[in-house]
Structure 1
Amino acid sequence: MTKSRQQAMTKLIRLDKLLGHSGEGTRKEIKNLCKSGSVTVNGSVCVDPATKVDFKKSVVAVDDRLVFYTPFHYVMLHKPENVLSATIDHFSRTVLDLLPSRYKGTGMFPVGRLDKDTTGLLLLTNDGDWAHRITSPKKEINKIYEAVVAGIIPDDINSQFQRGIVLNDGFLCQPALAEKIGDYALRIVIHEGKFHQIKRMCAAVGLTVTALRRIQIGQLMLDETLHYGEIRILTEEERELPFQ
């Protein structure tokens, strides 16, 4: 069992952790809330954010508003271009910068990565077990992309992808699928996630990727009603779709 699951099953946790995971702000913001007398535990004002509380039994409130412990969050993001799939960067915006402020103290991180200029479906969570199940190569979960390319698409591109493309550094990719969906467009299915893999696979057959968008993970599809940079919470049913 991972540390994240063990922590979720432990009844006694720090007050600031409970508030942070429930979307009440960063640790610094929560410390200030406690100091101001805005936080109560079982009806009594609590000024110490390190106080241990029972997340199943304690009644916690902020400004008389009840707070219910939410250990894990699962979010779908329609990733735009020029945003890094990282938790922090000193020079560029990251996908965490796109999240509403209520997620600041939750420990969210991207599940896998999309290149800076790649758009589409990206998942974010603070559940390490769930994320690992999606990103582990052993699980062989399909990731589906649409690519716009420059060059002449070979007639046998799908056969080449199914045999396994050899990259310019000698790495042999696992079998993949490539379907021509336009004169300069492909639908590509892989279950690996090597650095710039699709771009490098296309380069190996004489193509240059000019635009790349992920549309599906397992059976979970990008919600096309989301605009670039928008998120929505996954339903319980949707959380299982990547594994189907």
Structure 2
Amino acid sequence: MKTTLRLDKLLAHSGFGTRSIIKLLVKRGAVTVNGKKIKDSGMQVNAELDLIEVDGEAVRYREFMYLMLNKPQGVVSATEDRRDRTVLDLLDETYSHFELFPVGRLDKDTEGLLLLTNDGKLAHNLLSPRKHVPKTYFAEVEGMVGEDDMLSFRQGVTLDDGYETMPAELRILRSGDPLLGQVSEIQLTIMEGKFHQVKRMFQAVGKRVVFLKRISMGPLLLDAELSTGAYRELSEDEVGMLFAHVESDKGN
């Protein structure tokens, strides 16, 4: 952790609002450092040694932020985009100072679990091919998905560019009858994250994904109470599970 930093950045990272709001707090004398009222919101403070208080409340500094987002369709997994709304556009302004970014990508038309953080080391580990972090998706697929598809996915399939996927676990929730206009409902767990991988895997077996939603990443499960487009901070237990997963022997 960077020990010495600007007071306004520390307060922003601690949930006290934007820098303009923090300037107002300082102006009215609400902010003290080691018992003394502060007049300069840009002063350097030591996050570990200095006692920083706002209206008498001790400040708990957070260097890293971890958000679970239930990504909606029509939003891109990027920090900025000239044409479309990004996942960062869904966040409250109070999170802007954390400089968050999405861990990996979900296609524009794909919904579900997306982790946003400013912890580059954790993000790298979660995305590293060497870690083999499992990702599980729910999908609706045109055509009847059956035992043959389960076997093909378990062995790995060849994508349109010749890439052979790692073995994947396909679970059939409902095998739809195309003659009746029904779609199949499945869960698919993959250990890698190639471009449009789930859709391309089904294309390889002659079927088309019409709806896709990620429901888990490693040990992190999408909160069932999180509506589409909503987000929340991860609990300490959830953050701990992510670190334990990427640091375990299994993940290496």
**Range of TM-score over shorter length:** 0.7 to 0.9
Task: For 1:163-202, list aligned pairs within 5 A.
Answer: 163-182=155-174, 183=176, 184-202=184-202
Q: CA RMSD in A?
A: 2.3
Name the amino acid aligned to 1:46: K
Question: How far does residue 19 in structure 1 lie from its aligned partner after superposition?
Answer: 2.4
Cα distance in 2 for partners of 1:57, 1:70 equals: 15
User: Aligned pair 1:116/2:81, yes or no?
Assistant: no
Q: What secondary structure, in the 3-state scheme, does the structure 1 residue paired with 2:203 have?
A: helix
Verify the 8 A CA contact 2:30 2:37 in the aligned structure 1: no
Q: Which residue does the alignment assign to 1:152?
A: 144
Cα distance in 2 for partners of 1:135, 1:98 equals: 23
User: Aligned pair 1:45/2:6, yes or no?
Assistant: no
Cα distance in 1 for partners of 2:52, 2:113 equals: 35
My pick for the range that moved more, 149-158 or 131-140, is 149-158
Q: Which residue does the alignment assign to 2:67?
A: 75
My pick for the range that moved more, 182-191 or 29-38, is 29-38
Q: Which residue does the alignment assign to 1:213?
A: 213
TM-score when normalising by structure 1: 0.86
Q: What secondary structure, in the 3-state scheme, does the structure 2 residue paired with 1:77 have?
A: strand
Name the amino acid aligned to 1:150: E
Q: Which residue does the alignment assign to 1:4?
A: none
Question: How far does residue 82 in structure 1 lie from its aligned partner after superposition?
Answer: 0.9
Question: How far does residue 197 in structure 1 lie from its aligned partner after superposition?
Answer: 0.7
Q: Cα 1:237–1:64, aligned 2, differ >3 Å: closer, same or farther?
A: closer
Q: Which residue does the alignment assign to 2:234?
A: 234
Q: Which residue does the alignment assign to 1:225?
A: 225
Q: What secondary structure, in the 3-state scheme, does the structure 2 residue paired with 1:202 have?
A: helix
Unaligned runs of 5+ in 1: 1-7
My pick for the range that moved more, 143-152 or 27-36, is 27-36
Verify the 8 A CA contact 1:21 1:107 in the aligned structure 2: no
Q: Cα 1:207–1:12, aligned 2, differ >3 Å: closer, same or farther?
A: same
Cα distance in 1 for partners of 2:201, 2:143 equals: 14
Name the amino acid aligned to 2:149: I
Q: Cα 1:155–1:107, aligned 2, differ >3 Å: closer, same or farther?
A: same
Q: Which residue does the alignment assign to 2:181?
A: none
Name the amino acid aligned to 1:218: G
Question: CA offsets per residue over residues 38-76 of structure 1, 9 Å max, x none?
Answer: 654332323251x22111222334566543211111121
Pairing partner for 1:23 from 15, 21, 37: 15
Verify the 8 A CA contact 2:3 2:46 in the aligned structure 1: yes
Question: How far does residue 217 in structure 1 lie from its aligned partner after superposition?
Answer: 1.5
Quick one: percent identity of the two aligned structures?
46
Question: CA offsets per residue over residues 192-230 of structure 1, 9 Å max, x none?
Answer: 111111011111111111000111122221110111111
Unaligned runs of 5+ in 2: 177-183
